[in-house]
A and B are shown apart, each in its own frame.
Chain A
Amino acid sequence: MSTASILAVALLAGCGSAGAGTGGPEEGDGTLPNYVPLTFAEPDVPGINGAPDGYTQLPAEFERQFPEAPGSGGTYTAMTPLWGAVPKTDGNQYLESVNEAMGTTIDFQITDGTTYGDKLAAVLADQSNIPDWVSIPTWNFPPRFGQAVGTLFEDLTPFLAGDAVAAYPNLANIPTDAWRSCSWNGKVYGIPFPAAAGQRNAAFYRSDLLPDAELPTTAEEMLEFVEENHADGHWGSNDLWIFATAMFGVPSKWKVVDGELVHRVETQEYRDALQWMADLYATGAVHPDAVADNAADGKQRFESGDVVITADGVGAWHEALSKMRPADPEWDMAALPYFAAAGGDPVLYKSDAASMCSYLKATDDDAQIEELLDAANFLAAPFGTEENMTITNGVEGVHYELDQNNAPVKTDLGRTEVQPTFMFLVAPPEIVADPEKPDYVEARVKWQNETTLHEVEEPFYGMRVTEPNQFASLDQPFADLEKDIARGRKNMEDLDSAIETWRTSGGEELRTLYQEILDGEADEIADESAEVDE
C-alpha cells in the first residue's frame, strides 16, 4: 500500500485526527431531499440550462402561502454575513415584521462579509457560543470543517431525506444539486442559499461612461480595452484576477489531463493568466489603490467612476444599480461577455449550486430543529407569494411604496433596514426580479444564459472533500505569489520554485488522495479499514 493509501485509510476511517469526506450523497440514494418544483409566477425572461428566470414585473396578485404563522414562538440566534452597511437589529421593523409573520424570532448577529471567514473560525472554535443558526458561504468553510460538522451541527438527513422533505414544500422546491453542496460525509447538514447555473463572477464596465466601447474578444484586446480607457481622469480597472482565470480557463482546484489529476497551479492556463495579470499591471492602468491590494473599496471606486472596469461577483450588479440609480438615473454598468483568451468560446467551470449553506446547532431537542425547519420553509417562500414579497421588500407603506408600474420603490427606512439577512439563511431557487430595472433583468439573464453554454464540471464538482490539516497551508504561498507576480515583484521562475515546494511538501500526497477518490478507490480503502477495525 502506498504512503498516500495509508494516509487515505487514516483519513477515511474517521478515527484519525482529521476526517475526509469523499463527497456528497447522490441523487436517488434516498439521502437528499426529493425535488418537487413549485411555481407561483411565470417568468418573462426565462433562464436556460438552469440559469435564473427573469421577471421584469411583479405578478398581478400574490398568493398567501401561510395563512397562519408556522412557528411556535421560539427565539433563536443566527449569524449571517453582510456586504454593506450593517443595519441596527434592535427595533428594526423589517426584522420584526418577518419574525412576526413567521411566528419564530430570529435574533441576528450580522458580520461584515469581507472578514466573515475569520470570525467564523473563532466562533466555531468555541462550541459553547455557537449561534443556533449559522450561515457559511461556500468560500468560507473553516479548516477541518468536514471533521467538525457532525459535532457542531445537526444532521438534517432524518428530517429532510427523500420524501420527508414533503413536510417542508418550499425546501423541496430547492434543486437537488444545491442540497448536495450542503452535504458532508454522506449526510445533509446544511440548508442551501441556492445559486442558479451560470457564472457567479463577471468583469463589468461602466456602460454609461463608455457608451461606444468596442468590447474585447481576446485577452490581448482586453488588455488594450483597459489601457485605452485609462483616460479622462478615470483609471482603467481594478484587479481583474477572477476574470483572468475565467478567460484562460483556470480550474479552481484540479483538472484531469490524460486521466491524471493536474493541480491548478501546475496548469499552463494558470501560468498564462498570471503572465496576463503581470502585463495588465505593467500598463499602469490599474488603480493604485487596487495595486495596494485595497479590494474593500473596489466597489466604491467603480461606482464613483474612478475606475471604469472591475471584476466582481454577479450580485454586485443589482447592488450597484440599486445604490446609484436613485441619485443618477443614467448610471449604468454591463457585464462583459466571456471569451477564451485566444478568442472563441471560453471554458467556464461550473460554480457551486449553493452560494452558502446554513447550519443548525446540534441539539437533542427535535422540536427546536423542527421549528427552525418550519422557519426555513417560510423563508424559502418562492417568488409570487406574499411571504416572499415581505422577505424581499419588507412592509408596504413602511419599507416600500408601489409606483405607477406596480414596482416596489424602497423608502428611506426600507433602504436602511431591508438588507439580505434572512436570505443568507435560506432562499428559494434563484431568480432575477426587478420591475424597477427591467433593463437589468434582461441583461443579467441574457448574460447568465450565455455563460451556461460554455460551462463544464470540474472532476470533484458537488463533492465536499476535507483535506488533512497538514495540507491546509499549501495554497497560501500561491495566494501571495499571484499578487507578487501581477505587481512585478516576482516572476515565473518564482512560480516554478513554488510549484516544486508545493509538490515536495504535500502536494503529491494530496494528488494521490484525490486520485484515489476520483478512481473510487477511497471507498474501498475505507471499507477495508472498517473490516480491519472490526
Chain B
Amino acid sequence: MSSTTEIDEVRDAGRPGETRPSRPAPRNEPPARSRKGWRLRLRQDRTLLIMCVPAVGLLAVFAYLPMLGNVIAWQDYSPYVGIANSQFVGWANFERVFTNPLFLDAVVNTLTITAFQLVFFFPVPIMLALFVNGLMTPWLRNVIQSVVYLPHFFSWVLVVTIFQQILGGAGLLNQELGKLGLGGFDMMTNPDTFLLLVTSQAVWKDAGWGMIIFLAALSTVNPEHYEAAALDGAGRWRRMWHVTLPAIRPTIILLLILRLGDSLTVGFEQLILQRGAVGAEVAEVIDTYVYYQGVVNGDWAFAAAAGLVKGLVSLLLVLGANKLAHLFGEAGVYKKA
C-alpha cells in the first residue's frame, strides 16, 4: 500500500463524488486497475462484510434456496415422488392458470380489495399520526398511541371473532336492536358490504401500528421550521400543509411503493376465515385460491405457477412505482448508485 497509485485509490474511495479533471478515468477501465480497486474495497470493508455474512447466509438458505423449488411450476409435480422424478410439462400449468376463470375471478377480487384499501386504509395511519402528533398533552398522546396500536398484536381469528360477536346476526348490536324492537342486520354474511367489512377490520387492527412509522418521521421535523412558519403568519393548517406533509412525503411514498408490491397479498388468514360466510365470489383472492388448489386439492404445480405469476406482477409493480417516484424526484425504495 505504499505506491502512489494505491494512495490515489484510497482517496478516490473515500471521496466517491469528487471528479479528478487532471486525470479523467477512461470510458473503458483497464481490467488490472479495476481488479485492484475491487480488492482494496474488500479489504477496507472487511469488517462490515463479515458482519453481513450471517444475514446473507440466512437469506441464501431460507429465501433464495427455496426459490429453486419453483421449478415445480413447470412439472406435473407430486410430493410423493419428488422434484427429481416428477415429469416436466413445459408451460402447461401457466396456460391453465391464465385460462382458469376461477383464478381470474380471484385476481379481480384481489385487485378490488387492494384498490379499495389503498384509498380507504392507506391514508388512515397518516391522519392518525398527524392527529396524535398534534396533541400537546404527552400522557394523552401516549395513551392514545398505545390503545390504537395494541390490536395489531391480536390474531386474525380473534379480530374476526370480535367482529362476529359485535356485528354478527347474533352479536351484541343485533341483540340491542332486538330489545328496542328494531330489525336486525348481519354485516358478517353480507357479500355487498364485504369490502367495507374487511377494510374496517384492517383499519381497526393495523392503522395504529402503521401510524408509528409516520410518527417517527414526524419526530425528525425541525421545530424551528414550525417557529419560522408561525412567525411568517402561517396558521395550524398552513404549517401542516407546508411543513409537516413535505417532511413525511418521502416516507409516504416509500410505504406506498412497498404497499404496491404487496398489492396482490391482501391477507390470507383474514379472508379464509370469512370466505364461507360471504361466499367465494367476493372473498376468493389469489392466496386463498392457491391454498385450495395447492394444499387442499393437491395440485401443487398449478399453485406454484399461480404463485409465480403473482410474484412477478408484484415485482413489476414495485419497480414501476419506484421508477415513477424517481421521475417525480423522490428517493423511492432505492436508487442506482
Contact = CB atoms under 8 A, between A and B. Distances in A.
Interface stretch (A154-162, A431-439, A483-491): A483-491
A429 to B, nearest CB: 32
Interface stretch (A90-98, A105-113, A140-148, A443-451): A140-148
Interface residue tally on B, bucketed by range: 20 to 34
B269 interface: no
Contacts of B292: 473, 476
B279 A469 contact: no
A472 B86 CA distance: 18
Contact of A469 (B189, B280, B298): B298
Contacts of B191: 489
A293 B276 contact: yes
B259 to A, nearest CB: 29
A148 B281 contact: no
Contacts of A469: 76, 78, 298-299
A288 to B, nearest CB: 2
23 contacts: A17-B78, A17-B86, A18-B78, A122-B295, A142-B298, A143-B297, A143-B299, A144-B78, A288-B189, A289-B169, A289-B170, A291-B186, A292-B274, A293-B275, A469-B76, A469-B298, A472-B298, A473-B292, A476-B297, A480-B279, A483-B276, A490-B279, A490-B281
Interface string B57-88: 00000000000000000001011110000110
B24 to A, nearest CB: 59
B276 A292 contact: yes
B87 A17 contact: yes
Nearest to A286: B169
A482 to B, nearest CB: 11
Q: Which 3 A-B pairs have the closest CB atoms?
A: A288-B169, A143-B298, A293-B276
Interface of A: 17-18, 117-118, 121-122, 124-127, 142-144, 147-148, 151-152, 235, 287-289, 291-294, 306, 469-470, 472-473, 476-477, 480, 483-484, 487, 489-490
Given A469-B78, A469-B299, A472-B298, A292 B164 contact: yes
Interface string B4-26: 00000000000000000000000
B170 A287 contact: yes
Residue with the greatest number of chain A CB neighbours at <10 A, chosen from B171, B174, B276, B281 = B276
Interface string B76-112: 1011110000110000000000000010000000000
A293 B281 CA distance: 15
**At the interface, is chain A mostly helix, strand, loop or mixed?**
helix
B297 A473 contact: yes
A490 B278 CA distance: 11
A487 B169 contact: no
Contacts of B276: 292-293, 483
B297 A289 contact: no
A291 B189 contact: yes
B293 interface: yes
Interface of B: 76, 78-81, 86-87, 102, 164, 168-171, 174, 186, 188-189, 191, 274-281, 292-293, 295-300
B21 to A, nearest CB: 63
A121 B298 contact: yes
Contacts of B280: 480, 484
B307 to A, nearest CB: 16
Given A17-B86, A291-B277, A151 B164 contact: no
A115 to B, nearest CB: 11
Given A121-B298, A484-B281, A144 B186 contact: no
A469 B297 CA distance: 8
Nearest to A119: B295
Nearest to B295: A121
A292 B277 contact: yes
B79 A125 contact: yes
Contacts of B87: 17
Given A17-B86, A289-B164, A291-B186, A473 B169 contact: no
B299 A294 contact: no
B182 to A, nearest CB: 16
Contact of B295 (A118, A484, A490): A118
Contacts of B169: 287-289, 291-292
Contacts of A118: 295-296
A292 B298 contact: no
Given A17-B81, A143-B299, A292-B189, 8 more contacts: A17-B86, A122-B295, A147-B80, A292-B164, A292-B274, A292-B277, A293-B276, A489-B279
Nearest to B168: A288
Given A144-B80, A291-B169, A480-B280, A487 B189 contact: yes
A290 to B, nearest CB: 10
A505 B130 CA distance: 54
Contacts of A287: 169-170
A414 to B, nearest CB: 30
A223 to B, nearest CB: 19
Contacts of A473: 292-293, 297, 299
A184 B298 CA distance: 19
Given A151-B81, A469-B78, A477-B102, A294 B295 contact: no
A490 B186 CA distance: 18
B80 A148 contact: yes
Contact of B298 (A144, A235, A306): A144
B219 to A, nearest CB: 43
B298 A489 contact: no
A16 to B, nearest CB: 9
A487 B188 CA distance: 13
Nearest to B190: A489
A151 B297 contact: no
A511 B169 CA distance: 42
A470 B78 CA distance: 12
Nearest to B169: A288
Contacts of B76: 17, 469
